[in-house]
Amino acid sequence: MEIKEAISRAKKNDQIAFNFLLDSFWNDVYAFQLKRTKNENDAEDITIQSFSKAFDKINTYNEKYNFKTWLITISKNIHIDLVRSQKRSLRNTSKDNEDNYIDIIDDSPSPEDKIITEQNLTNLLRDIKKLKPHYQEVINLRYFQELSYKEISEELDEPMSNIKVKLLRAKKLLAEIITKN
């Protein structure tokens, strides 16, 4: 499959085309982010967000431009937004401490926090159970057992690109379920 064909098929919601595009450009976007963030986890998270956003907005892609450039631009903008939000939160924190004294904050959760966390976890697990079993499995392996993509790929005996796409879709479906509730 050629890139142009994959893009036109992806615009028609062809899942094979999405997989092809992900496989074709994952390393480029990931390497770009790894140079920017110098952190593998951040680079991976931003790369996933980049593909998610690109696939959601695939119909806005203008074929006069190189697809890789379009993806890298999306990725760069996501990274810029994250850096800005981190700077904003740092500025807000520093404004709170302008009296030249340091507040020592007790980070341990209160009993109320523990109850709220348990309720949120219960609700999340209930929502995860609404997903198809193969989506439940990748969510469980990635977020509850904290396996890497490679480890999940080996566990399920599937290519890593399939794992990435499954996880991406599982998160989207889970987000839809949560927002409906």
Angstrom distance (rounded) from CA 74 to CA 48: 11
Beta-carbon contacts of residue 133 (< 8 Å; ≥ 6 apart): none
Please check whether residue 133 lies inside any domain of the structure: yes
Long-range CB contacts for residues 138-145, cutoff 8 Å, separation at least 24? 138/163, 138/166, 138/167, 138/170, 139/167, 139/170, 139/171, 139/174, 142/167
Angstrom distance (rounded) from CA 163 to CA 156: 9
* pLDDT tens per residue across span 59-79: 999 888 899 999 999 999 999
CATH number of the domain where residue 68 is located: 1.10.1740.10
Beta-carbon contacts of residue 11 (< 8 Å; ≥ 6 apart): 58, 59, 61
Please check whether residue 7 lies inside any domain of the structure: yes
Q: How confident is the model at residue 95 (pLDDT cuts 50, 70, 90)?
A: low
Please check whether residue 102 lies inside any domain of the structure: no
CATH number of the domain where residue 162 is located: 1.10.10.10
Is there a contact between 139 and 175 (Cβ–Cβ < 8 Å)? no
On whether both 79 and 144 belong to a single domain, the answer is: no
Domain enclosing residue 132, as ranges: 111-180
- Looking at residue 63, what is its pLDDT? 86
**Placement of tokens 């709170």 in the chain:** 96
- How many folded domains does the chain comprise? 2
User: What tokens appear for 100 in the block?
Assistant: 């030249």
Count of other CB atoms within 10 angstroms of residue 164:
22
| DSSP per-residue codes, 2-13 | -HHHHHHHHHTT
On whether both 39 and 86 belong to a single domain, the answer is: yes
Is there a contact between 48 and 164 (Cβ–Cβ < 8 Å)? yes
CA dihedral 140, 145, 148, 151 (to 10 degrees): -90
Is there a contact between 18 and 10 (Cβ–Cβ < 8 Å)? yes
* pLDDT tens per residue across span 154-167: 999 998 888 888 88
Model pTM score? 0.54
